[in-house]
Amino acid sequence: MERKEFLKSIGAGAALAVTFSCLGSCLREELDPNADEDASSGSNSSSTNSVPFTVDLSASEAGKLQNNGGYIIKNNVVIAKNLEGKYVAATVICSHEFKKKVVFKNNEFFCGEHDARFDQNGKGLNKNGSKGLKIYTTSINGSILTVSA
Ligand code: FES
């Protein structure tokens, strides 16, 4: 390979590396539940996690919240009734590799992709959960459960 060809190939490779690096970063920001925290206040029009929102506990969509340990997923939020009968909520997007696989299991939040575990305050309980999990606030007024940031 001549010097000119070599330099040309390095230039194309560098451009590709920069492009893929940017694409990866942009995708990560889109899925990172903590990336748009500041931007989401006051507007929820384009946010992936559109909080606040409400759940009518008497509606069929909330049927699984009748029992302790049950959960539903709405607006990318896992809403659960813990084993003590209290409502808790967290993002469905795992902090490990940003898969939308968080559920409520054994009275804690759990991602089945690589078995990350989080307590109900979002604290990681194992290595893959070490980055923690975004937790939302819940409040009840009659049969209406409100999930907010
Ligand atoms: S993406 Fe959730 S444990 Fe890896």
Decide if 11 is inside a domain.
Answer: no
pLDDT tens for each residue of 22-34: 444 444 544 555 4
Decide if 135 is inside a domain.
Answer: yes
| Structural domains counted in the chain | 1
Instruction: List beta partners, residue 24.
Output: none
Decide if 80 is inside a domain.
Answer: yes
Decide if 46 is inside a domain.
Answer: no
Decide if 24 is inside a domain.
Answer: no
Q: Per-residue confidence at 2, pLDDT binned at 50, 70, 90?
A: low
Instruction: List beta partners, residue 103.
Output: 110
For the segment 138-149, the average pLDDT, to the nearest whole number, is 97
Decide if 9 is inside a domain.
Answer: no
Cα 127 to ligand 1 centre (Å):
10
Q: With 90 as the cut, is the pLDDT of residue 137 above it?
A: yes
Query: pTM (2 decimals)?
Result: 0.72
Cα 83 to ligand 1 centre (Å):
24
Cβ–ligand 1 contact at 128 (below 6 Å): yes
Question: What's the CATH number where 77 sits?
Answer: 2.102.10.10
The parent domain of residue 83 ranges over 53-148
Beta strands in the chain (DSSP E): 53-56, 71-74, 77-81, 87-91, 102-105, 108-111, 116-118, 135-141, 144-148
